[in-house]
Amino acid sequence: MQSAQSHCNRSFPISLFSLILASLTLSSPTHAEIFSSQYHDYKVETIATGLENPWAMAFLPNGDALVTERAGRLRILRDGNIVEQPVSGLPDLKVGGQGGLMDIILHPEFSDNRQLFLSYAHQNSEGYTTRVARAHYENRKLSDVKVIFDALPRSDSTRHYAGRLAFDREGYLYVPVGDRGEKDRAQDISDDAGGVHRITTDGEPAPGNPFLDDPDASDTLFTYGNRNIQGIARHPETGAIWTHEHGPRGGDEINILEASTNYGWPEITHGIGYSGLPITDRTEAPGMAQPLHYWDPSIAPSGMAFYTGEVFPQWQGDVFVGALKFQKVVRLRINDAKDVVEEEDLLTDMDHRIRAVTQGPAGNIWLLTDAPDGHIMKITAP
């Protein structure tokens, strides 16, 4: 051992040797594996590791990607490496339970205004809630941070924050809020929990919101009866906003959002309680929407993307959903009648809880894994 160390010191300083070795380790993928599916062979590369429960990512025009860690950090992925120093200037947030720093989405005109939006858990003397802030991003720093949405009332629960974000074609921002583990709140339209809210980029209720003229309802509310939405995406052709949400034991749902729609939780569900006892004996009821698709048993879906790239042409138009519980990616093909005509499980042998699914600018599919040593992975052509 001593002679090996002496040899290193004679060649060049040990500190320089360590820096070069670390650089080589960071720049090389941990592994790459080849898989087969119904239409395509594909390769899965591990791009980076060591992230603490990564939650979401957004690609910047310069080729960088911003990645949130639920532990309360915003990281930069640059040329396949995680920049050591996190982005500064994050808003005050609370890490605990299921909460922390969650989604990130760029303003539709980000190239001009450098604005982005973050969802996160927040705590004050009145309890915990889901919050959204707008910020200006430049040179690894956030500035001009402004809170534009607070889900009220707050509660003592640290569960079911939801928090995925999406823009529609008109530039309005959709903000799902979970039922916070207090299921009856999802049927109360005066309560922000258990629904999807549609706001402007300044945080005002979007024009045309369905409950603007109802003094007993939240002005920002767009839908209600939602349990805990963990995936949201805009359909590339119709522009409709699609979501999926966690059921209890069973009953995970995919829904297409329509203004003022009641999606039924907890009055109707295809799942049962964690105790094994029924929540309700009804799976449908008048005035409550049926899901486009549901899973029983639950797969614990998280992350959602429509594929529109050229890397995998026979996947174009399909929906990709991550799964936490069953540790896989699900590909769904849905026809014009909104029937699921194909369902295929991918990456079932990799033992990763998939938190986020995102299509990259080059047409590859990017994944984040939910773990204290979370990975950034990329699905690409072999």
List, in order, residues 6 or more apart from 17 with CB less than 8 Å away: 8, 11
Match 């639950």 to its residue by tokens: 298
Q: Mapping DSSP to helix (H, G, I), strand (E, B) and coil, where does residue 153 land?
A: coil
Q: What phi, psi does 123 have (nearest 5°)?
A: -130, 140
- Residue 379: CB partners within 8 Å, gap ≥ 6? 42, 43, 44, 329, 346, 364, 365, 366, 367
Of 144, 115, 143, 147, nearest to 131 by C-alpha is 147
Helix (H) or strand (E) holding 173, with range, is strand 173-177
Q: Which residues contact 106 (CB under 8 A, 6 or more apart)?
A: 58, 60, 115, 116, 117
Angle, to 10 degrees, between the axis of helix 2-11 and the axis of helix 14-27?
Answer: 90
Report the distance separating Cα 149 and Cα 146, nearest Å: 9
Burial class (CB in 10 A: 0-12, 13-18, 19+), 77: buried
Alpha-carbon Rg for the chain, nearest whole angstrom, is 22
Q: Is 122 a catalytic residue?
A: no
19 class by beta-carbon count within 10 Å (0-12 exposed, 13-18 middle, 19+ buried): exposed
Rounded CA separation 52/177 (Å): 23
Measure CA of the first residue to CA of the last residue in the chain; give whole Å: 41
User: Tokens 């699921």 sit at which residue?
Assistant: 340
List CB contacts of 372: < 8 A, sequence separation 6 or more. Answer: 52, 53
Active-site residue (options: 7, 31, 107, 160): 160
Closest CA to 272 of 264, 263, 281: 281
As a dihedral over the C-alpha atoms of residue 335, residue 105, residue 102, residue 137, rounded to 10 degrees, the angle is 170
Tell me which residues are annotated as active site: 160
